[in-house]
Amino acid sequence: MPKILLVEDNEMNRDMLSRRLEREIVLAVDGQSGVEMAGTHAPDLVLMDMSLPILDGWEATRRLKADDATRHIPVIALTAHAMSSDREKALEAGCDDYDTKPIELPRLLEKIAALLPPSIAALLPPSEEKPHE
C-alpha cells in the first residue's frame, strides 16, 4: 500500500481525506511535525496543506526538499486559494504538484498516481470512487 503523509491542521479535512483515501495514512497537524514525520515514516508521498501552524506548508516543503533524506518524496500542495500566485509559490518551494480545496478525490488521485512509481500507483483506489456527501 502507498503510504501517504497528510499534513493538515483542519480536522474535518483530515477525517475526510483519510477516510476516502483508505490508504496507509500518516497524519501530522502542523508543519513542524510534518517535516519530522516525513523523516521518521518515509512516506511515498506527502499531501501538504499550505496554511499550517508553527511552520506553514511552504516552509515545511522547503525543509523537506533541502534534506537529502526526504527530498525525493513527492509533495502535493493543498490550498484553499485558487490564486495562481499561490501555485507559483508552492512550486517555488519545491512542491511537485498543486491542488485546490475543496478536494475532488478523482482529480487528486490522478495527481497522486502521476507522482508515484507505477507499481505503487497501481495500489491506489479507483479514481471514479465518489464521495459519500
Residues in contact with Mn ion by CB under 5 A are: 9, 49, 51
Q: State the Cα–Cα distance between residues 76 and 94, nearest whole angstrom.
A: 10
The residue sitting closest to Mn ion, measured at its beta carbon, is 51
Considering the complex, state which of residue 44 and residue 49 has its C-beta at the smaller distance from Mn ion. 49
Q: Is the Cβ of residue 26 or residue 52 nearer to Mn ion in the bound state?
A: 52
Q: Which CB sits closer to Mn ion, 6 or 109?
A: 6
Count CB atoms within 10 A of the CB of residue 92: 11
Q: At closest approach, how far in Å is the CB of 10 from Mn ion? A: 5
In the complex with Mn ion, the residue whose CB is nearer, 47 or 64, is 47
> To 10 degrees, what angle do helices 57-66 and 31-41 make?
30
104 alpha-carbon distance from chain centroid = 14
User: For residues 77 and 48, is the Cβ–Cβ distance under 8 A?
Assistant: yes
What is the rounded CA–CA span in Å between residue 63 and residue 52? 14
Query: What is the nearest approach in angstroms of Mn ion to the Cβ of residue 30?
Result: 9
Q: How far is the CB of 84 from Mn ion (least distance, A)?
A: 20
